[in-house]
Chains A and B, each alone.
Chain A
Amino acid sequence: MYDIKNYTEAKTVEEAIAALSGDPDSEIISGGTDVLIRMRSGKDAGKSLVSIHEIPELKGVHLDPDGTIIIGPATSFSHITNDPVIRENINMLGEAVDTVGGPQVRNSGTIGGNICNGATSADSAATMQTLNAIVVLKGPEGIREVPVTEFYTGPGKTVRHQNEVCTAFKIRKEDYQGWQGCYMKYGKRKSMEIATLGCAVRVKLSEDKKTIEDVRLGYGVAAPTPIRCRKAEDAIKGKKVSDGSIYDTFADTALTEVNPRSSWRASKEFRLQLIHELAKRALKESIRRAGGEADA
């Protein structure tokens, strides 16, 4: 039995907002794979829970007529990986969330929780940064949209208010069409592992596949929150894929933008090495996936 003060099973988003507003000591539970663990450990024990688990409108992925991909925050990781819209347009996100925990956790855990928990180690976070995802929040005052790149305020902290429900993630057409990329996770084990470091790269090549038209670099665990490295991106924009120096330029510049710390999982020094190495590998793989001939 979990130490839950009051439990509300919200049937609609409005019901959830009302319940959250009515009890400042309440928090949202969606997939439960983090909230219940925290509760059992005593960290969130005695809190009230407002469940959004059974609200159908928060689940699933669909494509808007204008090409925007709408991801329901209560969509489980495995459903994202297997979703046809995701597979066709942003397969990299499906691959990234396929590295979360183990199979059963991926059947329960949701992308909304992964982002809204504010964890820097969230496996979807680095990729969402490179997709310029937009977080849609609904609260008592209405709906607001926050770019995921401005969503985090500190470790485990986001701009989402206690009584706001994340109702969607939006990914605009210009942020996925013509792009390719990959997510690389470093962990000591292949499964049931929190990322020691996560690196996401996306590239957009010119039509002849010879020039990097645009590039994006996102990290998890390279700072207290997931981050984008815009200086590293700018440093190789417009460069030729045949230019062998782009990898070191990219990775060296990224090192100036990160702020990893030592934890029991890994030292700061090791994380810096991972940041450097994974940037190079992920860039190379992204160029390859985009059809460019990466220089060895």
Chain B
Amino acid sequence: MLKIIHFTVNGKKTELAVDDRECLLETLRNRLGLTSVKKGCEVGECGACTVLINGEAVDTCIYLTMWADGKSILTTEGLKGPNGELNPVQQAFIDETAVQCGFCIPGLIMTAVEIVGTGKKYSREELRKMITGHLCRCTGYENIVNAVERVVNETYDATHGKE
């Protein structure tokens, strides 16, 4: 059954008629054209469909759209600066050559945005654990961990002053 929901998508207030059986992944891709949200395993294991819901990284393939009513959604499309600049997280992925085929990257970037958003510093081991909800079949993860580590440290140093 179609139902009307109101939510904020990438900073924009959005009113949308959705089927109450649909998951947020389908809504974002098919109704709003946000194709950075990738359809991977569809069972919450690969992390390719990760977006931030009220600041928390969630697998949208196992999140019903009805639950997004009243909430704020952030996808990779929403990271863009006012003049089209890349987000520091995206820049770090480029600088560390963390991308090969790119399918897992939007999801990983959103998890990295969540990690950066905590405003804390983490050890490499902690960061490895924090990105375990993503499968990457190309890179072997090393450069991805490098990129996440770099942007987390740089952001922390920028906000806390480097010692």
CB distance from B137 to the nearest CB of A (A): 15
B21→A51 contact, CB < 8 A = no
Candidates B1, B19, B44; contact of A105 at CB < 8 Å: B44
Q: Is B26 an interface residue (CB 8 A)?
A: yes
Quick check: B67 and A54 within 8 Å, CB to CB? yes
Total interface residues on A, CB under 8 Å, equals: 26
When the two chains form their complex, are residues B133 and A37 in contact, meaning their CB atoms are under 8 A apart?
no
Contact call B26/A1, Cβ cutoff below 8 A: yes
Kindly list chain B residues whose C-beta atoms are within 8 Å of the C-beta of A107: 56-58
A4 at the interface (CB under 8 A from B): yes
Which one, A3, A7, A9, A103, contacts B133 given CB within 8 A? Answer: A103
Do A2 and B21 touch (CB < 8 A)? yes
- Whether B16 sits at the interface, judged by CB under 8 Å, is no
Interface size on B, residues (CB 8 A): 30
On whether the beta carbons of B57 and A51 are closer than 8 Å, the reply is no
Cα separation A184 to B134 with both chains bound (whole Å)? 24
Determine the distance from Cα of A268 to Cα of B59 in the docked complex, in whole angstroms: 34
Q: Which residues of B contact A105 (CB under 8 A)?
A: 44, 59, 133
Contact string against A for B residues 121-146, beta-carbon threshold 8 Å, 1 for contact and 0 otherwise: 00000000111111000000000000
- State which of A1, A7, A78, A103 has its C-beta within 8 Å of the C-beta of B1: A7
Known: A7-B20, A37-B44, A78-B56. A103 touches B64 (CB 8 A): no
Instruction: Produce 1/0 per residue, A238-259, CB < 8 A to B.
Output: 0000000000000000000000
- Those of B19-36 within 8 Å (CB) of chain A: 19-23, 26
The answer, among B19, B43, B62, B130, for a CB contact under 8 Å with A103, is: B130
Contact between B129 and A191 (Cβ–Cβ < 8 Å)? yes
- A170 at interface (Cβ–Cβ under 8 A)? no
In whole angstroms, how far apart are the Cα atoms of A105 and B22 in the complex? 18
Find out whether the CB atom of A192 lies under 8 angstroms from the CB atom of B45: yes
CB pair B23 A191 closer than 8 Å:
no
Contacts of A147 in B (CB 8 A): none
Having A54-B67, A101-B44, one finds 9 other A-B pairs with CB under 8 Å, namely: A4-B20, A9-B66, A33-B62, A102-B133, A103-B130, A103-B132, A105-B59, A105-B133, A191-B129
Interface residues of A (CB under 8 A from B): 1-4, 7, 9, 29, 32-33, 36-37, 40, 51, 53-54, 78, 101-105, 107-108, 190-192
**B residues within 8 Å of A by Cβ?**
1, 19-23, 26, 42-45, 47, 50, 56-59, 62-64, 66-67, 69, 111, 129-134
